Amino acid sequence: MTDTPLDFGDPEDLERLRNDFRAWLAGHPLPERPADEPLPVFLHRWHRQLHSGGWVGLDVPEQYGGRGLTALHQVTVSDELGARGAPGVPRIGYLAHALLRFGSEEQRRRLLPRMLSGDDVWCQGFSEPGAGSDLAGMSTYAERRPEGHYIVNGQKLWTSYAQYSGLCLLLARTDRAAPAHASISAFVLPLDRPGVTVRPLRAANGDDEFCELFLDDVRLEESERIGAEGDGWPLAMTTVAYERNALDTGHLSKYGLLIERLRRAAHERRKLPDGLLSDIGRCAVDYQVLVAHARRRTAERLAGQSAGPESSVDKLLMTRAEQRLYETALKVFPEELYGEGGEVLGDYFYSRAASVYGGTSQIQRNIIAKRLLGLPVGPRA
């Protein structure tokens, strides 16, 4: 696909959708956020407002509460929001996709409309203290009882915003004997179930987005399993590929707004530290390359290519852009370091996690080497 021309332009129906969305936004602006309102609560109100206009789950089939359009339509909405500095569409696309592909018809009909509307708030219980990069090495165990239900014991980590969530997409081992990749199953876990303890974990930037999840003799019904036993691994791989995708350009626009702020700040100053101007120029290059790259992926998708391991390239490019941008921002606004510390400092700390969350940069390189370049499997250390 790299040696024939691609159309980088928006197809006509996307342009129409963009205009419709702009018109709707004009009448439904971003709500005010009271000073004491936690961010996830505010984002949840925004989620419901977007859903009321039909702007959530555009790529989900209509019978499950969506609009039956494509991922590109959803991306267009998120792009438009980003360009206005508004928070994007809630990042539930990958969860919806997992349910669509692995859930039963009954589960899809019951869970998807409530997920899209925000009636149910979801979180993701994948990683564990002992299973980060080596996700398949998880030890949370769902033991099947003769009566048919499961009893789950274990601990999950990095479960974002679990304290504000009602449901968790949980991975647990259902077979201790089978090879790791065939013995993991997925469940819908209601977080108010007896035996579940949620403990927020304070991150380096001071936020309590991440949580620990303790599971002590938690009972799950067979009907709460998604897919068959052993489907958990392919389900997890589907969702992480979606998480790494470059297509979701909503948060890219946020970089663009910051870069223009850096440029203006540098322009207004008489004396600049050595090399700062080229650092800012480099951030602009990283960002615009990312925009071009996302557009290329869109064009490839429209030309019929499906998503695959190349999303690891996308994630590494995103990490490069984000980390370099916030390092530069701290050079332009050094007062962030000796004052109270503002938004830039918080975002800087968050950017340090970019090379860790959603699969570390080393894992992305392994995927590129093995699955894109076809290099031979190495000796196990």
Partner 1 sequence: MERDEFTLVRDMLRAFATRFRSGSAGDIKAQTRTDAQRALDELGLSGLRRTSPPAATVQECALLAEEHGRQPLTTSLLGTALLAPELLRLLDLGERAGPVYGDRPTVALAGDLRFPDRDAVGLVAWDCDGADTALFVHGEGRVTEHELGAPAPTADLLRGVRRASAEGRPVGRLTPGAHQCWQAYALVVVASELVGAARSFVEQSVDYARERHQYGQPIGSFQAVQHQLADATVLVEACTSATRYAAWCLDSETPGRALTAARVAKAEVNSSAVEAVYAGMQVFGGIAQTWEHVAHLYLRRVLVGATTLATTPDLLTVLAAPEATR
The residues binding partner 1 (CB under 8 A) are 2-9, 260, 263-264, 266-267, 277-278, 280-282, 284-285, 288-289, 291-293, 295-296, 310, 313, 316-317, 362, 364-366, 368-370, 372-379
Please say whether the beta carbons of 126 and 171 come within 8 A: yes
Is 249 exposed, middle or buried (CB count within 10 Å of its CB: 0-12, 13-18, 19+)? buried
Please say whether the beta carbons of 30 and 46 come within 8 A: yes
C-beta of 92 vs 283, nearer to partner 1: 283
- Dist. CA 213–CA 193, nearest whole Å: 12
Q: How far is the CB of 231 from partner 1 (least distance, A)?
A: 29
Please say whether the beta carbons of 78 and 34 come within 8 A: no
Give the residue from 75, 56, 218 showing the smallest Cα distance to 149: 218
Amino acid at 354: A
Residue 185: CB atoms within 10 Å: 24
| CA 299 to mean position of chain CA atoms | 22
**Catalytic residue status for 243:** yes
Please say whether the beta carbons of 252 and 294 come within 8 A: yes
Q: How far is the CB of 299 from partner 1 (least distance, A)?
A: 9
C-beta of 28 vs 267, nearer to partner 1: 267
In 88-203, alpha helices (H): 93-102, 105-117
DSSP single-letter state for residue 169: E
- Dist. CA 168–CA 153, nearest whole Å: 15
131 forms beta bridges with 128
C-beta of 5 vs 194, nearer to partner 1: 5
Is 166 exposed, middle or buried (CB count within 10 Å of its CB: 0-12, 13-18, 19+)? middle
Q: How far is the CB of 294 from partner 1 (least distance, A)?
A: 8
136 three-class SS? helix
Contacts with 334 (C-beta within 8 Å, 6 or more apart), sequence order: none
C-beta of 52 vs 278, nearer to partner 1: 278
Q: How far is the CB of 201 from partner 1 (least distance, A)?
A: 30
Q: What's the number of CA atoms in the CB half-sphere (13 Å) around residue 71?
A: 23
Q: How far is the CB of 367 from partner 1 (least distance, A)?
A: 8
Catalytic residue among 62, 147, 224, 243: 243
Q: How far is the CB of 152 from partner 1 (least distance, A)?
A: 35
Contacts with 268 (C-beta within 8 Å, 6 or more apart), sequence order: none
C-beta of 83 vs 201, nearer to partner 1: 83
Q: What is the 3-state secondary structure (H, E, C) of 213-240?
A: EEEEEEEECHHHEECCCCCHHHHHHHHH
Q: How far is the CB of 278 from partner 1 (least distance, A)?
A: 4
- Which positions are annotated as active-site residues? 243
